[in-house]
Structure formats: C-alpha cells, structure tokens
C-alpha cells in the first residue's frame, strides 16, 4: 500500500546523498487538437533546493515545438517550481496540476536532433493542466530499483489530463489521457546506456506502461504493468528495439510485453520527437551535443499504439549514448 506522503514533494534531508534528486514527469497526447505536452521537473544535484523545469509543447504540424528550460529555488515547499513552471500536488495519488506562464523558443525536431538549441527569438506560452489519476498509482519494486542509478522510489499513474494551452494568443482546449511519474533518491544519468519507456491509455480503458533500462554494470531492468478487463497485471518481460538516431529512429517499433505465460506485442509509431542531452549527474540540455561520445541522448514524443487490434494514443521515450547513434544529415539553423 502506497502512503500519501510518498507522493508529496519530498522534504530535503540534511543527510541526503550529494546526488539526491526528485523528479516529476508528465506526458500527454491530445489527439483532437494535435498538441502534446511533455514536462520534466528535477531537483539539481548537489543544489537540490533548485528545480530545473523542462517543458516541450509538440505542435500539430509534427515538426515544430515550443520549448523552455527554467530554474528556480524551492520557495514553495508544496510544489515543484522553477518560477514560470509549477507542478503541484493537490491530492497525493489522485490529482496534480501544472501551470506555466512565460516565454518559449520555437524550434524544429530536426534542429534539436542535429545540435544544441541556441538562444534566439521567443514567444509567449501558457499551459494550465489538471491531472486526475485513472487507477491506483503503481510503485516500482524497491529491490529492482536498488541496482539502478536514477532513484530509490518510483511511481507511475495513468491520468485524465484536462485544461488548455495558449499558443500565439489562442487558447487550445486539452482533454486527453496521459501519464505522470514521481521519482526520488540518489540519481545519476551517467551509467545509462539504453532505455525504452512506453505508456498508453486505450479507449476501452486498457493501459500499458512498460520500461526497459540498461546501465553499465547492472542487469537490465524490465518492468511495468498492463490493465485489461479492469485488472492490473505486472509485466515479467519487456523488449524493445534500441534507438539508432537522435532524430528518433526507428520511429516505428514493436514492444514485446509478457505477463506470466501470456506474451503480446504492441506496435508503436512515434509521430513527433524532441531530443535532449542528459547531463551528469542530472540536468537536461535542449538539443543534442555530439562532442562527447559518452553523452546520453534522450528522445521524447507522442506515439500511436496498436495493441491487439485497438488503437490508442500515448508516449514513447528512448535513450542511448551518442557513440551508438547515427548523426542526422541535417544542418542546424544558425
């Protein structure tokens, strides 16, 4: 049984490890408007009183995005706040809210995959979303997490996401499903070598959340759950192809899911992408730096799922080291 205090913003203990961090994620794909929203909030290490807020709004043309990276000290103890971006726990394990009011950089997926995003013109962006849990939060097995470098507590929850996003002065209503997660503990992106994370809520109410994580010096982590016919079942095996390009290739993948003796395959097609370079121990840079072959590249984006004949709209995240990726044949704009 998960305690409500586990899902609140955590207090900063005096004896915390130097690389202790707390992280929150939102993924959502609104099929009606064509907008998708990705948010990653993370405490910097060792300066854990400072939050980094990364926001990407994926625009309907499937090439442009509005992106922002902000930092702020922990003035509000009940919310994760980088200043412009605030992720608040309204009711633990049930409701969270997200607010952003500030400026954002308009970029393309291809530019982000080719090079770091440079400074330049910005435009106003507002985001106001509420996340209501659709099922009990799933908490990862602590024994499995004990061998991972990215936290000692991790939960995930499918959500109903509703609110609006204001782009170019026009409010766009959002009414869709999505996922959130909450992680804390000692964290470093440095050991990560390969990762795939998929989530989707289907019209029938079925749910997929599957995760494959590979780190240097640790056994692969294959975990997650599916909800079908009202029952949640743990995944005992997850398999997914590795990322081959910072542009998000292959865009179409098959994810193998196993619950006990039953094995199924979900066809997943990523339809938009944003690329980031992960810093060690923590931190997100917008775009990709190819200078260090050991740099960790993360690609996020909305995806269309087909699972046992039912279509759904969810999310695909993948990660790999620069040395294993093909560099896109795209010249970044100057």
> Which residue is associated with the tokens 């997929």?
208
SS3 of residue 142 by DSSP? helix
Q: What is the pLDDT, as a whole number, of residue 78?
A: 78
User: Is the pTM for the entire model greater than 0.85?
Assistant: yes
Number of neighbouring beta carbons within 10 Å of residue 134: 16
**What's the CA gap between 239 and 230, in Å, rounded?**
24
Q: What distance, in Å, lies between the first and last C-alpha atoms of the chain?
A: 53
Percent of the chain with pLDDT over 90: 90
- Kindly state the helix (H) or strand (E) to which residue 111 belongs, with its residue range: helix 109-114
More confident of the two residues 75 and 74: 74
Number of neighbouring beta carbons within 10 Å of residue 178: 30
Domain at 19-324, CATH class: mainly beta
Q: Where are the domains of the chain?
A: 19-324
**Angle, vertex CA 194, rays to CA 211 and CA 160, nearest 5:** 30
The contacts of residue 324 (CB under 8 Å, 6+ apart) are 193, 194, 242, 243, 244
What average pLDDT does this structure show over 30-58?
97
- Kindly state the helix (H) or strand (E) to which residue 88 belongs, with its residue range: strand 85-91
What average pLDDT does this structure show over 1-6?
87
Q: Dig out the tokens for 293 from the structure.
A: 């072959």
Strands 36-43 and 192-201: unpaired
Chain-wide mean pLDDT for the chain? 95
The yes-or-no verdict on residue 74 having pLDDT over 90 is no
């Amino acid at each position: 049984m998960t305690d409500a205090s586990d899902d609140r913003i955590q207090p900063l203990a005096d004896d915390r490890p130097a690389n202790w961090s707390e992280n929150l994620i939102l993924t959502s794909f609104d099929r009606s408007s064509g907008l998708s929203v990705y948010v990653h909030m993370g405490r910097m290490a060792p300066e854990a009183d400072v939050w980094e807020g990364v926001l990407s709004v994926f625009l309907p043309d499937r090439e442009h995005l509005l992106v922002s990276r902000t930092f702020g000290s922990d003035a509000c103890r009940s919310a994760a706040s980088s200043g412009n971006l605030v992720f608040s726990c309204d009711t633990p394990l049930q409701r969270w809210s997200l607010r952003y009011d500030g400026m954002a950089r308009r970029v393309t997926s291809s530019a982000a995959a080719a090079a770091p995003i440079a400074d330049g013109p910005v435009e106003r962006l507002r985001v106001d979303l509420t996340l209501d849990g659709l099922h009990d939060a799933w908490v990862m097995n602590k024994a499995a997490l004990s061998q991972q470098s990215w936290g000692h507590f991790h939960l995930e929850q499918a959500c109903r996401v509703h609110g609006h996003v204001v782009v170019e002065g026009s409010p766009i209503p959002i009414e869709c499903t999505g996922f959130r997660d909450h992680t804390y503990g000692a964290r470093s992106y440095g050991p990560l070598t390969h990762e795939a994370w998929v989530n989707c809520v289907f019209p029938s109410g079925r749910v997929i959340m599957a995760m494959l994580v590979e780190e240097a010096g640790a056994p692969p982590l294959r975990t997650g759950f599916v909800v079908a016919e009202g029952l949640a079942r743990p995944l005992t095996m997850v398999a997914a192809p590795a990322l081959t390009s910072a542009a998000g290739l292959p865009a179409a993948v098959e994810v193998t899911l196993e619950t006990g003796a039953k094995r199924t395959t979900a066809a997943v097609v990523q339809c938009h992408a944003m690329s980031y370079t992960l810093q060690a121990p923590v931190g997100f840079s917008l775009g990709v730096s190819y200078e260090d072959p050991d740099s960790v590249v993360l690609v996020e984006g909305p995806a269309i799922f087909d699972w046992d004949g039912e279509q759904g709209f969810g999310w695909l995240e993948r990660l790999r080291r620069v040395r294993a990726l093909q560099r896109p044949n795209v010249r970044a704009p100057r």
